[in-house]
Structure 1
């Protein structure tokens, strides 16, 4: 009798233990995949109002028309430029300004770019290029000493006094916007790109020329008067996606950081182009839009707040496009060129007569 009762008792214990284990597994799964965050996210379509909750377009117009601001800016990065460049000085017309986000120790990347699409030799067009870097926080490290020599030789590096790492990319991007806004505000277009991209400057200029020739005067205009009228181009590879809520994802975003179920349409930060007016509008608008740590998402939010619709261009590839002359004939940008010799080889093959 006692053995039978003991057996029943042990079966109940095992069943109870299995229930506990199942509950723990379910909870871990729920937590790991961020299911609660997905379930409780607010509707982007019906409820998006990222701070500041004001008409940012009107504030941009106030700045551009030298009016007194009715709202105080909330987002001005407290960093300085440690170097400068006279590349835009005494140049009346610049067709394309290339802004390269580069890591401090990417000496080979910058050298390969100077030998290829960054050589500024485009017949009949004026093209300029600058590299934008942060600092490593160390006093005269070996890397910094090499950068100092590089700056002295090429005069094409703008260094800024924030720590250079992945989650500071938005700071690097918006400080780059600030530099061109303050020191090179007369270029027709600006290409912002990472330092591991293949770029065809000729194809990009042809694309922009053809687009300008065919667009209607009202394309890309805001509804506000005066300075904001004109072409507000923001183009590249456009994404329509949702935040990742996975607990251990590099790109995880909590509801506290961003509570909506969709991102605004955004252009991958690997390479994108803005027109002159779009650069000015987006930079000024960013002063009234709360910081966000992913630069491509942040620019998508800023674009939405100022009324610019990102324009998809299929000639920009956010991944590495396998090389062939035919496939690269019209291509503007391809990601993933970590091999410097490969970048040089592909560029020379596409630019050889």
Structure 2
């Protein structure tokens, strides 16, 4: 493994930025990360430097979204394409509505990149930011194969600015989400939804210090068929099996798990598939992902009763349909 690095200063807890050029032949460093993570959390210098820090500048930070008198129970961190103005509006008018529960502090932000060849989109975004103040944007190209950069931006931004947030749901902008079920799940992840059959709980839940949950794949293999969209060559990934990983469309992190995953990510070489990249980072940071079937990485066939316990479901590209489904589930007491 070879690394060639140039750094302007030592890594500090203040989220300083540095540059790295890496020859990718492995997941990352050959070191136990837990002692390094402890040192970095304490703001100490470390002998083994990160290999993959997020160094892009922010166009819009909107750190006010992380400010609160006490604590923020849940933050939706929505990965959105720059041009998806209608999807963001559909989310604000449905599951991303921050005042859904008067006794629970919830925030919603959207992560976007840049499209330098379409300057009119940036002008429209500026108006959106002025009106809603919920956009986080950094100076990298907004494209499918830069989803890992968008994920890194989300980890960097939340780690640096959102100390008062207890849980984060990272989710794509084509998902249906039930806030009620999300909060129910956080109360007792291992027994959701079975425990709800015995008694009714309020939306104020207990806090689980370490949680990284979603739909988990174990023992999955790289696709070697060259015509596949997800083809991975042996040069890019010379191993026969992926690490356990959570599908990147929707996953929830407690604050402490987010911190460890953030540090795991900066010691993990960049990989173009964001869910695999997070699987690598989680394994490095000794985080075990928790599987739950009510996170649907595919479009669960909709019917009113069938969505009673759904936490998140992929496949809602139409904002109008999203709002209709969410409204029906809210009326049924499921959202």
Q: TM-score normalised to the size of structure 1?
A: 0.79
Q: Which residue of 2 aligns with 1:234?
A: 212
**Distance across 2 between alignment mates of 1:212 and 1:235:** 10
Asked if 1:163 is matched to 2:141, the reply is: yes
Contact 2:151 2:274 in 1 (8 A): yes
Asked if 1:278 is matched to 2:257, the reply is: yes
**Distance across 2 between alignment mates of 1:263 and 1:156:** 34
Asked if 1:197 is matched to 2:175, the reply is: yes
Contact 1:57 1:285 in 2 (8 A): no
**Distance across 1 between alignment mates of 2:307 and 2:110:** 25
Q: Which residue of 1 aligns with 2:88?
A: 110
1:272, distance to aligned residue in structure 2 (A): 0.4
- Secondary structure, counterpart of 2:95 in structure 1: coil
Q: Which residue of 1 aligns with 2:166?
A: 188
Partner of residue 95 from structure 1, selected from 69, 73, 97: 73
Of residues 203-212 and 104-113 in structure 1, the stretch that sits farther from structure 2 once superposed is 203-212
Q: Which residue of 1 aligns with 2:205?
A: none
Q: Which residue of 2 aligns with 1:209?
A: 187
**Distance across 2 between alignment mates of 1:314 and 1:211:** 11
Of residues 111-120 and 279-288 in structure 1, the stretch that sits farther from structure 2 once superposed is 279-288
CA 1:49–1:55: 2 relative to 1, 3 Å: farther
Q: Which residue of 2 aligns with 1:131?
A: 110
**Distance across 2 between alignment mates of 1:129 and 1:340:** 17
Can you give the 5+ residue segments of structure 2 that lack an aligned partner in the other structure? 1-24, 193-207
Structure whose alpha-carbon radius of gyration is higher = 1
CA 1:169–1:244: 2 relative to 1, 3 Å: same
1:232, distance to aligned residue in structure 2 (A): 2.2
Contact 1:134 1:161 in 2 (8 A): yes
Which structure's relative contact order is higher, taking Cα pairs within 8 Å and 6+ residues apart?
Answer: 1
Q: Which residue of 2 aligns with 1:254?
A: 233
CA 1:266–1:213: 2 relative to 1, 3 Å: closer
**Distance across 1 between alignment mates of 2:35 and 2:225:** 38
Q: TM-score normalised to the size of structure 2?
A: 0.83
**In the TM superposition, what whole-angstrom CA distance separates every residue of 1:87-114 from its partner, at most 9, and x where no partner exists?**
1124420000110000011011001000
Aligned residues: 290
**Distance across 2 between alignment mates of 1:98 and 1:231:** 18
- Secondary structure, counterpart of 2:90 in structure 1: helix
Partner of residue 316 from structure 1, selected from 287, 295, 307: 295
Q: Which residue of 2 aligns with 1:73?
A: 50
**Distance across 2 between alignment mates of 1:287 and 1:112:** 33
Can you give the 5+ residue segments of structure 1 that lack an aligned partner in the other structure? 1-47, 215-229
**Distance across 1 between alignment mates of 2:227 and 2:248:** 22
More helix by share: 1
1:213, distance to aligned residue in structure 2 (A): 9.8
- Secondary structure, counterpart of 1:104 in structure 2: coil
- Secondary structure, counterpart of 2:65 in structure 1: coil
- Secondary structure, counterpart of 1:78 in structure 2: coil
**In the TM superposition, what whole-angstrom CA distance separates every residue of 1:290-331 from its partner, at most 9, and x where no partner exists?**
111111000000101111111101110011011112111111
**Distance across 2 between alignment mates of 1:150 and 1:66:** 36
1:210, distance to aligned residue in structure 2 (A): 2.2
1:136, distance to aligned residue in structure 2 (A): 0.5
1:61, distance to aligned residue in structure 2 (A): 1.3
1:49, distance to aligned residue in structure 2 (A): 6.7
